[in-house]
Structure formats: C-alpha cells, structure tokens
Amino acid sequence: SMGHMMGWPLPECFLGMENAMTFAFTQFLLLIPIVFLNRQYYIGGCKALIQRAPNMDSLIALGSGAAILYGIYAIYRIGIGFGQMDMDTVHAYMMELYFESAGTILTLITMGKTMEARAKGKTSDAITKLMDLAPKTATVERDGTERVIPAAEVQPGEVLIVRAGESVPVDGVVLEGASAVDESALTGESIPVEKQAGDTVIGATINKSGYFKMRATKVGDDTTLSQIVRLVDEATSSKAPIAKLADKVFVPVVIAIAAVTTVVWLLTGQTVGYALARGISVLVISCPCALGLATPTAIMVGTGRGAVNGILIKSAEALETTHSVTTVVLDKTGTITQGKPVVTDVLPFGAERDELLAVAASLEKRSEHPLAEAIVSEAEKEQLALLPVEEFEQIPGQGLRAVVEGRICLAGNRRMMEANHVENGELFSRGETLAEDGKTPLFFARDGRLIGLIAVADVVKPTSAQAIAELSDMGIEVVMLTGDNERTAEAIRRQVGVDRVVAEVLPQDKEREIRRLQESGKKVAMVGDGINDAPALARADIGIAIGAGTDIAIESADIVLMRSDLLDVSTAVQLSRAVIRNIKQNLFWAFFYNAIGIPIAAGVFYPAFHLKMNPMLGALAMSFSSVFVVSNALRLRWFKAKHAAAHTAPSPSDGGAEITTNQMTANEEKGETTMEKV
C-alpha cells in the first residue's frame, strides 16, 4: 500500500491514477484472508460491546472494522469518480484507503498473542498422568484361590495380596505379613514406612520389601489418589485470569473519544468522510499494538531468559504473578533435601571405622530396605571389601541377624538391640541426639556387643539455606510443608532457617494449607516435586516444580526449575520483578504516545495549526510505537540474577562423625558451574 510512496518497483497495473481501482480492490482482496483468520476479535469484541464490557478485542474490532468499512466506501467513491471523470475525487480517495491499517493492526496483535500462547502449558495432562499412576490390576483372594482382576473391579472388604515390588491397588488395612512401603510419592515421607498387621496402606504406593495381605477399605473414587486427582482438577479450573488495566480504563475512554471526535466534526459542518477519517484515526492510532505488545513481548523475552537460567515458565500469568508473591511454601523431600537417604555419621565403638562399615554393608547388602542402599553405596564409595554372610534372617520392624565370618551379627534399631540384650547407654544416647537432628540411627552388634552406629538421613541440598535466606531478604515469608514426622521437619527447619513448619500433612492438607494462606490475603507460591504436591501446586497462585520431580508435579506447576536448585526460586522472583518493571515502562510509553497521538488524530490542533493525521500515518506511527516497545522489552536479554555469597558448608561434627555434602559454587563471570566436594 505504501510502495508507490517509497518508490518501490511495483507492477505497472498498480501505479498511476488510471489504475486506482485495481490498486484499491487488490488491497481489499489481500485483506480478506487476514480478517478471516482473525475473526475471533470481531466475534469476541462485538459480544463484549453488546454486554457493555468492552475489552481489547472490542478496540481491535472497532479500529480495524472502521478502517475496512471506510476503505470499501473509498472504493465506491473511486468508482463513482471514474464514472463522472472526476479525477480529483479519485486522487483524494486513492490516498484514503485504510486496508493496510486494518491488516497491520490484526497481524501485530496476533503476533503478540501467539508469542504469549506459545509459552502456556496445559494442565489437563497432569490429571491424565495422575490417573495412570493407579495400578491397573490387583491380586484378589476369592474362594481360597488367587485371581488377578482389574483394579477397578475390587470391592470394599475383599482380601488382596501384595508382593515385593508391586503397587498397592487400593486403600486398605494390612491383615497379615510385614513390609516397607514407599509412600514418598503421596505423603512426602522420604524413608519407606514399616507396615504390620493393622496398619493402613494407601493405593498407588509401592511395596518395597516383604509380602502382605490387606483388606480393601476404599475403592474407586474414594481412594486417596482419586481425591488428589479431583483436587488438581478443581484447583486448576478455579484460577482466575489477571484483569488487564487497559480493558477496564483505556478501551472505553478511546471508544468515547473516537465517537465524540466524529460527532464534533460533523457538527462543525465537515463532510461525513472527513469526520469519519478523524474518528478512525483515533481508533487506529490508539489501537493497542503498543499496549498489546507491551506485555507479551516483555514476557516472551523474560521467558527466554528464564530458560537460559534453567527456569521454564509456562504462562504469561505465571511470570506476571510471581513478582507479587508474599509467601513461598516449600515441600521438604526432594525440594529442600536431596530426596535420597545417604550416610551422614559413622560412629565406631570398640572397632575400626572401616571394620564397622564393612560389617554393616555386608549385612545390609542382602536387605531390601532403602536405608541399606545408603550404607552399601557408602562402603562401595570407600572401596571396602564385603565379607561372607551366612544364615541371613530379616526381623520385621527391627532389623537383620546373620553370621559374618563365623560371628553372630545384628543390625537394626534400638528396639532390636534391647530385644537381644545388647546395651550401651552412651551409644543409645548418641543415637537419640542424631534422631533429634532428623537422622535415622542404625545400631550394629557382634557377639552380643555393640560395635557402633551409622546414621542415615535425607540431607539438605547445598544451596537450600542460602536460597531461603535470600527469599527472606526479599521480604518473602518461607513456610515448609511436609508429610514427614515433626522431629525430622524441626531438624531441617533449624538447618535451613524457614520461618514456619507444618509437618505430617497429607496431600489434601497441603492444598488446604495453601488455601488458608490465600484466604488470609497472601499471594502464595508452592515449590514441590512429588505427586502429593500436585493439588497444592495447582491451588497456589504460582506452582513451582522441581525438574527432577514427578511428571505430575511438573504438569501441575506454572514454573519448572530444571536444575532442581532452590536458588532458582529467588531467580524466578527477581526475573518476574524485572519483567513487570519492563512492562510498566512499556505501558507508560504506550500511554504517553497515545496521550500525544490521540489529540492530533482527533484534529484538536487542526483549527490552530492545520495539523491533522490521516489513518495511514496513524497506522505507521502506531507501528513505530510497537518497535519502541519491543526494543525496550529486548533489554531484558541482559537480565542477571543477583545472589548473595554461598553459605559455608557445615564442619564435621565431633566424635568421628563424617558428613558428606556437595557444595555447588557458581562462577558468574564465566557463566560456568563447578562442583567441589567438601
């Protein structure tokens, strides 16, 4: 449309007044597919106008629609001009074709919305994946025989059999047998829970060792897993979209100015064409390309910077909302802690350290208990040779008994030692102290005498304390929610410095706690990694999932931390604040530009200075404002998170205890990450 003004080599059939009709009609034909592809603006915008709640779509529909209608009117006037050989009319209306204004408006706005939509994630997949967690089959005991049936057909009261490695099909009560059940996915408890007759088991948890029979108590929609699915669904669908300032204030004001402009020029005796041109100029120049791009472009650049920093932001709303977070709720297992038990203390008593570790690893090598894996891997790390083991025996709820090199050895908890009359008040007291610190003490005896204890715990991640301190420094309250026991939770609280702890919470309790915080007027971000966190992640204003966590947690969240590092939570908040600052700058310039451009377009300065603007120049000016806004948004590409110096690693505790931690230090100048083992 502007090629003839720029001196571009357009085909001859579009140049000169004699080809005015071809030039005009070709533009109209080229515009039709653009209008068809963007018809949702007209449908939504007109509906909003009818309901007296005009929004951005209404302004787009009015601005582009008025330009199209006036362009069609201009085609008729050109045709009439040719019919009457009135070349002045032909020339005048050839310059007043506004099809390119309509096309530009629709295309730029759609580009902005497309960029925004690409960043959005779907939460419906989370519900599907949650449902897939439930075991598909169950082994049921009917008429004295075992039968494998679909889990959906299990009836309350039926007796089920669960072997090692199988998932528990439904909620129920253990009738006979003993095992360790991994409930971490649902409760957050990092250590598998010992189950004996009379204990409850939850559907979709995993039987790590042993064999047991259970009676089904809750099936179908009543199971804990089904309740989590329902909570995720409800919490996701109840999220309200952020109301945009432009919709509420800017749009009605602009529409009113355009209408008043047209009426005033008609009343002053100007032609309908002139009055309409002024009204359309107001709509076109204010048509929110700058406003429409102010948010999505800043968010798109911010999202890109997040990805570079290992932070995946799924939606514009997530990035917009994160800056106003006042409370961060953290899950414990796998979020603050590593999520995997490791040996923290080796306390020999009457034996060498390596000797104690070799005996312990030899015994635990045959055990199916997850704590055993930590001891065996510690021995392998120190390259200790395992000893031959005979007459191996597991004692449910207590530990192990076996013969090692011809000597009877015991491994287990304090209860096992006392049952076998192995006493040592000093070592038991040390065990209690370690338990107070959230560690699990395991005692080892040989020939009726204690040879030491090994403590195993889910240790805190190296950067957790620093990340929590940074969040506190930013004025954000930090709360820890965990399904783990009170004592372990309190020990972790002392180590990392969270403001408040809520322990022993079930998945639905986590969601309820988030809702309670929201009802007290707080903007809440939830950080978690397990299936048990999914409802809370979906309910929170911002759900942040640890990248090493489950697919369900990742799907339910708004933000995913790919590096599984809590420091990235403070980075995400800093990034969000930088983006919001940028958006405010963009909106300021967009409004400032409109404050100057609208009066010129309306013809306010025409009587005094003969200054007016035709819609084509309005569209051009509008494009320049968009370029300005996008350029400002691109400044976010230089965003860098500011982190305080890392906290020093804890020194080894007294009494020969050995603490193994990995301290990560970031080399910000070179942008590389180095690992140092302390």
Confidence of residue 31 (pLDDT cuts 50, 70, 90): very high
**Which residues, including other chains, have CB under 8 Å from residue 492's CB and lie 6 or more apart?**
332, 336, 337, 438, 460, 480, 482, 501
Instruction: Give one DSSP letter per residue of 254-319, joined into a string.
Output: HHHHHHHHHHHHHHTT--HHHHHHHHHHHHHHHSSHHHHHHHHHHHHHHHHHHHHTTEEE--HHHH
* Residues forming a β-bridge with 149: 138
Band (189; pLDDT cuts 50, 70, 90): low
For residue 659, what pLDDT is reported? 32
Looking at residue 160, its pLDDT comes to 93
Look up residue 167 and give its DSSP letter.
Answer: B
Q: Where are the beta strands (DSSP E) in 305-398?
A: 311-313, 327-331, 337-348, 389-395
pLDDT, tens digit, for every residue of 32-59? 999 999 999 899 988 988 888 777 778 7
H-run or E-run covering 478 = strand 477-481
pLDDT at 403: 92
Q: Taking all residues of the chain, what is their mean pLDDT, rounded to a whole number?
A: 79
pLDDT band at 242 (very low <50, low <70, confident <90, very high): very low
Q: How confident is the model at residue 161 (pLDDT cuts 50, 70, 90)?
A: very high
d(CA 614, CA 603): 10
Place of tokens 């002045």: 88
Q: Which are the contacts of 155, defined by CB distance < 8 A and separation ≥ 6?
A: 216, 219
**What is d(CA 579, CA 541) in angstroms, rounded to the nearest whole number?**
18
Least confident range from 105-114, 151-160, 487-496, 660-669: namely: 660-669
The 8-class DSSP code of residue 183 comes to -
Mean pLDDT along residues 249-267: 84
As a 3-state breakdown, the chain gives helix, strand, coil percent values, each rounded to 5, of 50, 20, 25
Tokens of 544: 């942040």
Mean pLDDT check: name the lowest of 52-66, 122-136, 552-566.
122-136
Evaluate the CA torsion angle 198, 203, 205, 207 in order and state its sign. positive
Instruction: Give me 180's structure tokens.
Output: 């360790």
Structure tokens at 547: 């990248």
pLDDT at residue 524, rounded to an integer: 93
Can you count the helices (H) and strands (E) in the chain? 26, 22
113 — phi, psi (to 5°)?
-70, -35
Mark out the alpha helices in 523-566 (DSSP H runs): 534-539, 551-556
Q: For residue 235, which amino acid is it?
A: A
CA atoms of 627 and 645, how far apart (whole Å): 39
pLDDT at residue 471 greater than cutoff 80: yes
Reference 530, options 512, 546, 514, 542; nearest CA is 546
Return d(Cα 247, Cα 158) in angstroms, integer: 58
Q: How far apart are CA 617 and CA 5, in angstroms?
A: 12
Check residue 30 and give its pLDDT: 94
Phi-psi region of 557 (alpha: psi -120 to 50; beta: other; left: phi over 0): beta
Position 654 confidence tier, pLDDT thresholds 50, 70, 90:
very low
User: From CA 341, how far away is CA 373, in angstroms rounded?
Assistant: 8
Count the Cβ atoms, other than its own, within 10 Å of residue 263. 12
The pLDDT, as a whole number, for residue 550 is 60
Query: pLDDT by residue (tens digit) across 474-524?
Result: 999 999 988 777 887 888 888 888 988 888 887 678 888 899 999 999 999
pLDDT at 122: 39
**What pLDDT shows up at residue 667?**
35
pLDDT at 243: 36
End-to-end CA distance of the chain: 68
pLDDT at 540 over 50: yes
Q: How much is the pTM?
A: 0.61
Q: pLDDT above 70 covers what percent of the chain?
A: 81
Hey, how many other C-beta atoms are within 10 angstroms of the C-beta on 382? 13
Q: Mention every residue, 6+ apart, whose C-beta is less than 8 A from residue 237.
A: none
| Residue 483, H or E segment | none
Q: CA 72, CA 25: separation in Å to the nearest integer?
A: 9
**Maximum alpha-carbon separation in the chain:** 120
Backbone φ and ψ of 249, nearest 5°: -110, -55
Task: Give the gyration radius of the chain's Cα atoms.
Answer: 35
| HSE-CB of 126 using CA atoms within 13 angstroms | 32
Full DSSP string of 477-511: EEEEE-SS-HHHHHHHHHHH--SEEE-S--HHHHH
pLDDT over 80 at 613, yes or no: no
Average pLDDT of the residues in 161-180: 90
Q: Say whether 96 sits in a helix, a strand or coil.
A: coil
- Res 241 pLDDT > 50: no
Alpha helix segments (H runs only) across 603-672: 606-609, 615-634
Answer whether 581's CB lies under 8 Å from 648's CB.
no
**What pLDDT is recorded for position 121?**
39
In terms of C-beta density within 10 A (0-12 exposed, 13-18 middle, 19 or more buried), how is residue 507 classed? buried
Where is pLDDT greater, at 9 or 508?
9
Mapped onto helix, strand or coil, the DSSP state of residue 505 is coil
Q: How far apart are CA 193 and CA 182, in angstroms?
A: 6
In contact, 369 and 352? CB cutoff 8 Å: no
pLDDT recorded at residue 248 = 65
CB 393 within 8 A of CB 401: yes
Q: Helix, strand, or coil here: 182?
A: strand
Does residue 202 or residue 620 have the better pLDDT?
202
For residues 298 and 633, what is the distance between their CA atoms, to the nearest angstrom?
5
DSSP state of 246: I
Q: What angle do CA 135, 139, 145 make, to 5 degrees?
A: 170
* AA letter at 647: H
pLDDT tier at 230, thresholds 50, 70, 90 = low
- Check pLDDT > 70 for residue 326: yes
Active site residue 331: yes
Q: Is the dihedral of CA 273, 279, 282, 283 positive or negative?
A: negative
Q: What is the DSSP letter of 14?
A: G
Return the pLDDT at 402: 92
Q: Do residues 438 and 460 touch, judged by C-beta distance below 8 A? A: no
**For the residues of 660-672, what is the DSSP string, one character each?**
--EEEEEETTTTE
Instruction: Please tell me which residue in 247, 331, 558, 568 is annotated as part of the active site.
Output: 331
pLDDT of residue 557: 80
Tens of pLDDT, residue by residue over 269-315, are 887 777 877 887 777 666 555 566 667 677 777 877 887 777 877 77
Please say whether the beta carbons of 334 and 532 come within 8 A.
no
